[in-house]
Amino acid sequence: MRSVQVLFACFKRRLVKEIKVAQLSGYVSEHTAYHHAEGGLATTIIGMAQTFVGSNNINLLRPNGQFGTRLQGGKDAASPRYIFTALHPIARVLFPEEDDAVLQYVDSVALPDTLLDCVRRTIRTRVRHFEQQRRGGMRSLFDCLNTFVGHLLRVSSPRYREDDGQAVEPTFFVPVIPMILVNGAKGIATGWSTDCPTYNPRDIIAQIRRHLNGQPVEAIHPWYRGFRGTVTPVWPGGTPAAAAAENSEDAVPTAYAVSYTNLTLPTIYSV
């Protein structure tokens, strides 16, 4: 959720010029529903801008400064008051501004689940109202249509969540490709644990196109920008054939082994 808040604040500020990470943390805290220490926001901002091997395949923020290295997994990043960042130009390509109106914005008033339901309800209500007014001769056709269009524009405009009377970030963003597969995700929650590896954006786009064309989706393997080693799937039983024999369903690897020159790190990502 912190990444959603950071993106919302950057889009709202139109952050094309660099700003200190510490300053951006304060801006995000001020303009979103974030009620925790700003150190967590600074960590999220740094993570979204990192570019070393094994971090982001597509960084949404610019890393202007020391944002960490592969040697320590990004933990050696400089203090937030000494490094700068800004929106990467690709951010608005992946999160088009034209899509902001269809995001799930929620405020204190109970709204329909989707914008489409809201538009359909408005059309039905206003058409009935127009027919009643026309039969009664109360208003002209132009006035009725003008009222209908005005109300339709109001319900189709973005509706933001409110926090202490202030419009804040949407529930989630919807990028043109699934960014959780591009940059991965790792974390824990009550009773759950997530460890999603990163994949090649080109492979993801190719599979999306196959799905849209009604073709079966092919298996893809983890990919790390700048990594020149190999990523090998670890199959149950040792081979895909043995895995298929043990499982009647589609066989999938249980883990991936990552090797670089003479160094092998088994079971880096479990599935």
Using DSSP, state whether 17 is helix, strand or coil. coil
- Distance CA(87)–CA(32), nearest Å, equals 17
- Distance CA(82)–CA(61), nearest Å, equals 16
Which residues touch 167 (CB under 8 Å, ≥6 apart)? 107, 160, 161
Set 27, 34, 82, 105: catalytic member: 82
Given a contact cutoff of 8 angstroms between Cβ atoms, the answer to whether 184 and 271 are in contact is no
Using DSSP, state whether 116 is helix, strand or coil. helix
Reply yes or no on whether 224 is catalytic. Answer: no
The 3-state DSSP composition of the chain as helix, strand, coil percent (nearest 5) reads: 40, 15, 45
- Name the residues annotated as catalytic: 82
